[in-house]
Amino acid sequence: MQLTNRKVVVSNKKQSFAEKLYLPAIAKGMIITASHLFKKPPTIMYPEQKRPIAPVWRGQHVLKRDENGAERCTSCGMCAIACPAEAITMTSGERKKGEEHLYREEKYAATYEIDMLRCIFCGLCEEACPKEAIFLTDRLVDVEFERNDFIYGKDKLVEKIDKRIDVTKRQTPEVLAFKKIPGLMHNKLFDDKKLNKGNKH
Amino acid sequence: MTAFIIYKAIMCVGVFLLCLGAAAYATLWERKFAAFLQDRKGPSRAGWGGIFQPLADGVKMFMKEEIIPNVSNRSLFILGPCLFMITAVITSAVVPWAKPVMINGHMYDMQITDINIGVIYLLGVASIGVYGIMIGGWASNNKFALLGAVRASSQMISYEIPMGIALIALIISSGGSLSLKEIVEQQDAGFANFVWQPLGFLIFFICALAETNRAPFDLPECETELVGGYHTEYSSMKLGLFLFAEYINMFISSAVIATMYFGGYNFPFAHELYEKLGLADGSVWISLIGFGVLMAKIFGFVCLFMWIRWTLPRFRYDQLMNLGWKTLLPLSLFNLLLTIVIEYFRGNIHF
């Protein structure tokens, strides 16, 4: 049975004198390499010159604050469930009186950790978040020497009040509308109140 | 007498520094040239365009931990790279670098020594060169190193014969002198020897590639088969000496090829140019121009060496031996015969 039409009959013909000399073949090869001498290398000289990245490029996460500077995250755990790499862990805390300027709602994330070595930067946490609290940004995760240093806590994840991070390019009306589609997994989970039953973690 | 000693000392130190400097920058140029041939940019971080890269490499080599295996023959292990380096450098003693310079009414040759058996000296030193590899590889007490050393020595012996025969043909056609200075001077009057010895040049060039252990003849240090070849056990600056000496060998080989076959420091219409500039014999400027021309020729051959290395794959060992004994040896004998016939009809040989 013939599967492809790429079959070639092996030729065992004797080499001609010119082929035996090798020199023409060598000259041919050397002309090919020499032609590359005049080509412009596609190198990007990294620290000085950077490859352009898309505005929706998925890099290090940020936990957003609202307009008043209060943390948006309510520690609902949707991101942790959505995360296919199981990189997100958190514990919840209850807001005390006088902490309204710190946390937007009564429940907040007392700790919030993302293991950057487990994270695959898929962006599903961002998609799952009902409070528009977590976003992926165009920042790169820094290089560290210790594995523990890659577990980012709230100190690294929550945006600084005086250094807000712009995510308007990611948070377009289309994205917001998309997140409301009821058929999506996270909306289903939320609607069916499967949160408590289905949480294996 | 004092002037003579000072002149010789300056020449020795100058040529030594020239060899080291040229070899150091040959390592950088090798990496750069390889990068250009492969659409890359090459080392560019140490200094402007990577100009201090050889310095950085040298410092790195010195800083590395030095390991001498317990099972090695310690004194021979140390002797190996030294010998290889020494033989690489002393080859430069007979190469005429430029035209003689007149100082205080005395002509000084720009050559360390003009011995009348210069060509034989070159061949002799080149064949001692393999002792460094042989001793180093054997003293390592490592099978890979020994195999590399054995390969190097058998390769060296195989390719020295066609090289020597090609040189005999060259000497016949260039007037019978074994002194490199006279070979160069004779090319000043007529054509470069390359014109009379194209086949001889080809044989000599291939043999020079094999003698310097350059690709496609770099079987002694064939990484795919022998880990590192003869320098498997070497580390730190001893490894550096082996690698560095290879580049010195390449530089000197290029210098010898340029001297023997391409007229050394001479170039076409040199005398017309000197007359136009009003330079007399023995002028420093003539010497400098000649030196520049020789360096340009050497640079061209070094580039050719590198170009070949980054184009051709390595030979198999049986192919290497076949090429040496079954192709180059008969070819060089044929070239010798052809030269004798041609020179007889040109009237240079009298029976």
Q: What is the pLDDT of residues B26-74, one digit of tens each?
A: 889 998 899 988 888 888 888 888 889 888 888 998 888 888 888 888 8
Question: What pLDDT score was predicted for residue A186?
Answer: 64
Alpha-helix residue ranges (DSSP H) falling in A14-123: 17-21, 23-37, 78-82
Of A125, A108, A110, A115, nearest to A73 by C-alpha is: A108
Quick check: A26 and B35 CB within 8 A? no
**pLDDT of B130 over the 90 cut:** no
Closest in B41, B307, B308 to A43, CB measured? B41
Question: What pLDDT score was predicted for residue B351?
Answer: 66
Question: What pLDDT score was predicted for residue B170?
Answer: 87
Nearest CA in chain B to A23: B202
**How many angstroms separate the CA of residue B76 from the nearest CA in chain A?**
40
Find residue A152's DSSP bridge partners: A114
Question: B20 lies in a domain?
Answer: no
Question: What pLDDT score was predicted for residue A192?
Answer: 54
Amino acid at B218: D
Question: B6 lies in a domain?
Answer: no
B304 vs B295: CA distance, rounded Å: 14
Quick check: B308 and A30 CB within 8 A? yes
Q: Does A34 touch chain B (CB under 8 A)?
A: yes
Per-residue pLDDT tens for B151-208? 888 888 888 889 989 988 888 888 778 888 888 888 877 677 787 888 889 999 998 8
B214 vs B246: CA distance, rounded Å: 8
Question: What pLDDT score was predicted for residue A188?
Answer: 67
Residues of B in contact with A42 (CB under 8 A): 39
Quick check: B307 and A34 CB within 8 A? yes
Instruction: Kindly list the residues of chain B whose beta carbon comes within 8 Å of any beta carbon in chain A.
Output: 35-41, 44, 307-308, 310-312
Count the residues in chain A.
201
Question: What pLDDT score was predicted for residue A200?
Answer: 46
Question: What pLDDT score was predicted for residue B276?
Answer: 80
What is the pTM (predicted TM-score) of this model? 0.78
Percent of chain A with pLDDT over 70: 92
The backbone torsions φ and ψ at residue A52, rounded to the nearest 5 degrees and listed phi first, read -65, 140
Quick check: A39 and B41 CB within 8 A? no
Question: B197 lies in a domain?
Answer: yes
Confidence of residue A87 (pLDDT cuts 50, 70, 90): very high
Helix axis angle, B143-173 relative to B236-261, nearest 10°? Answer: 20
Question: B247 lies in a domain?
Answer: yes
Nearest CA in chain B to A43: B40
Number of helices (H), then strands (E), in chain A? 8, 5
Question: B48 lies in a domain?
Answer: no
Question: What pLDDT score was predicted for residue A99?
Answer: 85
Closest in B35, B36, B307 to A30, CB measured? B307
Confidence of residue A201 (pLDDT cuts 50, 70, 90): very low
Question: What pLDDT score was predicted for residue B327?
Answer: 86
**pLDDT of B340 over the 80 cut:** yes
For chain B, the average pLDDT equals 85
Locus of tokens 């492969």: B38
Question: What pLDDT score was predicted for residue A191?
Answer: 55
Of A111, A115, A108, nearest to A60 by C-alpha is: A115
Contact pairs from chain A to chain B, CB under 8 Å: 31
Question: B23 lies in a domain?
Answer: no
User: How far, rounded to the nearest angstrom, does the alpha carbon of residue B194 sit from its chain's CA centroid?
Assistant: 17
Quick check: B311 and A42 CB within 8 A? no
**pLDDT of A135 over the 80 cut:** yes
Q: Which top CATH class is A61-198? A: alpha beta
Q: Does A28 touch chain B (CB under 8 A)?
A: no
Question: B67 lies in a domain?
Answer: yes
Structural domain boundaries enclosing B225: 61-346
Per-residue pLDDT tens for A145-162? 999 999 999 988 998 888
B336 vs B204: CA distance, rounded Å: 13
**How many angstroms separate the CA of residue A114 from the nearest CA in chain B?**
36
* Number of structural domains chain B divides into: 1
B151 vs B219: CA distance, rounded Å: 7
Least confident of A53-67, A130-144, A170-184, B12-26: A170-184
Average pLDDT, stretch B93-98?
A: 86
Quick check: B311 and A45 CB within 8 A? no
Average pLDDT, stretch B245-254?
A: 89
* Apex B204 CA angle, B200 and B208, nearest 5: 175
Find all residues with CB under 8 Å of B113, minimum gap 6, and list them. Answer: B93, B94
Alpha-helix residue ranges (DSSP H) falling in A74-145: 78-82, 124-128
Q: Does A30 touch chain B (CB under 8 A)?
A: yes
B286 vs B98: CA distance, rounded Å: 8
Of B186, B190, B195, nearest to B268 by C-alpha is: B190
Quick check: B312 and A29 CB within 8 A? yes
Count the residues in chain B.
351
Per-residue pLDDT tens for A25-81? 888 988 998 888 888 888 888 888 888 888 888 889 999 988 888 888 999 888 898
Residues of A in contact with B35 (CB under 8 A): 41
For chain A, the average pLDDT equals 84
Q: Does A33 touch chain B (CB under 8 A)?
A: yes
B266 vs B80: CA distance, rounded Å: 37
Percent of chain B with pLDDT over 70: 99
Q: Which long-range contacts (CB under 8 A, 24 or more apart) does B138-141 make?
A: B138/B73, B138/B76, B139/B72, B139/B73, B139/B74, B139/B76, B139/B77, B139/B79, B139/B80, B140/B69, B140/B72, B140/B77, B140/B230, B140/B232, B140/B233, B140/B234, B141/B69, B141/B71, B141/B72, B141/B73, B141/B233
Residue A106 structure tokens: 């009564």
Per-residue pLDDT tens for B13-31? 988 898 888 888 988 999 8
**pLDDT of A181 over the 70 cut:** yes
Find all residues with CB under 8 Å of A82, minimum gap 6, and list them. Answer: A124, A125, A127, A128, A185, A186
A63 vs A158: CA distance, rounded Å: 4
**pLDDT of A198 over the 60 cut:** no
Find all residues with CB under 8 Å of B18, minimum gap 6, and list them. Answer: B92, B97
Greatest mean pLDDT among A81-90, B89-98, B169-178: A81-90
